[in-house]
Amino acid sequence: MTERIGTTCVQGGYRPGDAQPRQIPIYQSTTWKYDTSEHMGKLFDLEESGYFYTRLQNPTNDFVAAKICELEGGSAAMLTSSGQAANFFAVFNIAGCGDHVVASSAIYGGTYNLFAHTMARMGLEFTFVSPDCTDEELEAAFRPNTKCVFGETIANPALDVLDIERFAAAAHAHGVPLIVDNTFPTPVMCRPIEWGADIVTHSTTKYMDGHGAAVGGAIVDSGNFDWMAHADKFPGLTTPDVSYHGVVYAEKFGLEGAFITKATAQLMRDFGSIQSPMNAFLLNMGLESLHVRMPQHCKNGQAMAEFLSEHPKVRFVKYPGLPTDPYYKLAQKYLPNGSCGVVSFGFTGGRAAAEQFMKSLKLAQIATHVADARTCVLHPANATHRQMNDVELEAAGIAPDMVRLSCGIESTEDLIADVEQALATI
Ligand SMILES: *Cc1c(COP(=O)(O)O)cnc(C)c1O
């Protein structure tokens, strides 16, 4: 019997045997002890699997990664210290100095900075394409040294929906994988691997944790991408790793294991962006209710978007669940049961009205966070983007009056009443 997603949320990744702890144990230990150095040597040679140092792997993290792997329908997964680390590792594992990446322009600002500035300093080149670009424009973005395509299922904060099948087909036609950041829908609302994505990343800081408790990230490999079939493009996976006794990851660990093993043995070893086992434990507590929380986030987001779209003081609403939204059709295809709880909107009264609205909210809390059980709200022009003037904001696609409202899982009527009374003060 195929297990339903709610069962995996609750019980996936860790199935205790007889007389074992019911909850995932927190292995709060940096190191493991061995009786012989021969045994330890085998671990270092990747001859045997086992634990020796938490910077590379920790059992608590691996239990939780295994749950996320099952949720996404992948073959292998790892946790990282943050969503930023997950996206960095996912790309840098297959693209280095002199390589090129095609990325959607509708991505999280932190990821854009990572790509366009920090990874550019490391010698990688990025071409950003609109998720709405034509097939010809997408095709024109590829170069002989392109190593992957990157996008977000639902962009934070733009709320554009990625046509995963179209981007996957373009990537595969060029012999490279599609990496999809699935933070906003989570595997409860969309499983990008089923639509052709090869690698899925997450900021687990958001809905997966869901309680604003721990920063974290995850990478899931589908096991579908055939590195050996494109061996010349991916020498890091298909030729000996001199830093690991000449192991050829794609040969030794196969389709299912090569990508995550390399990212663990090489990138985690060298960059050390491990998630703390305590945080992995907290993340797992969030995952246990993810399938119960997501529908409520979506219900609140949908009701809020509908309420706002009929309000005379509201200038525009962005939400992929609104039939008038440009991404409605794609959302119906990829997110048939709902998208997320985040709604963006602006005010007929402009920036001053947005400021008055923010001041008047009572339930919704001002925070840079999104995708949390508690409703939170941000006015980017006055917070994350406050160094920009109104002209620069428009150029960056952020209206000066735009507010991002992340609907939590409180009672729908109370959230709408709060927004209604705040709108009334304008
Ligand atoms: C927040 C976020 C990130 C970055 O994750 P952190 O855990 O904050 O490092 C990456 N992608 C998306 C879509 C996000 O929302």
d(CA 27, CA 296) in angstroms, rounded, equals: 33
What residues pair up with 219 in beta bridges, in sequence order? 78, 201
User: Does 104 sit in the ligand 1 pocket, CB within 6 Å?
Assistant: no
Does residue 238 line the site of ligand 1, with CB under 6 A? Answer: no
Ligand 1 atom closest to the CA of 371, numbered from 1: 15
- Report d(CA 129, CA 251) in Å as an integer: 34
**Which protein residue's CA is at the shortest distance from atom 2 of ligand 1?**
203
Model pTM score: 0.96
- The pLDDT tens digits along the chain (426 residues) read 478 999 999 999 999 999 999 999 999 999 999 999 999 888 888 788 889 999 999 999 999 999 999 999 999 999 999 999 999 999 999 999 999 999 999 999 899 999 999 999 999 999 999 999 999 999 999 999 999 999 999 998 889 999 999 999 999 999 999 999 999 999 999 999 999 999 999 999 999 999 999 999 999 999 999 999 999 999 999 999 998 889 999 999 999 999 999 999 999 999 999 999 999 999 999 999 999 999 999 999 999 999 999 999 999 999 999 999 999 999 999 999 999 999 999 999 999 999 999 999 999 999 988 999 999 999 988 887 888 788 877 766 779 999 999 999 999 999 999 999 999 999
> In whole angstroms, what separates CA 166 from the centre of its chain?
19
Numbers of helices and strands, H then E, in the chain:
18, 12
* Beta partners for residue 27, in sequence order: none
Beta carbons within 8 Å of 355's beta carbon, 6+ residues apart: 379, 382
Nearest atom within ligand 1 for CA of residue 107: 13
Task: Tell me which residue has its CA closest to atom 4 in ligand 1.
Answer: 83
What is the 80 CA–ligand 1 centroid distance (Å)? 12
Residue 256 sits at φ, ψ, to 5 deg, of -70, -30
Q: How far is the CA of 347 from the centre of ligand 1 (A)?
A: 27
CA of 370 to the centre of ligand 1 (A): 10
Give the whole-angstrom CA distance, residue 150 versus residue 143. 15
Is 203 close to ligand 1, i.e. is its CB under 6 Å away? yes
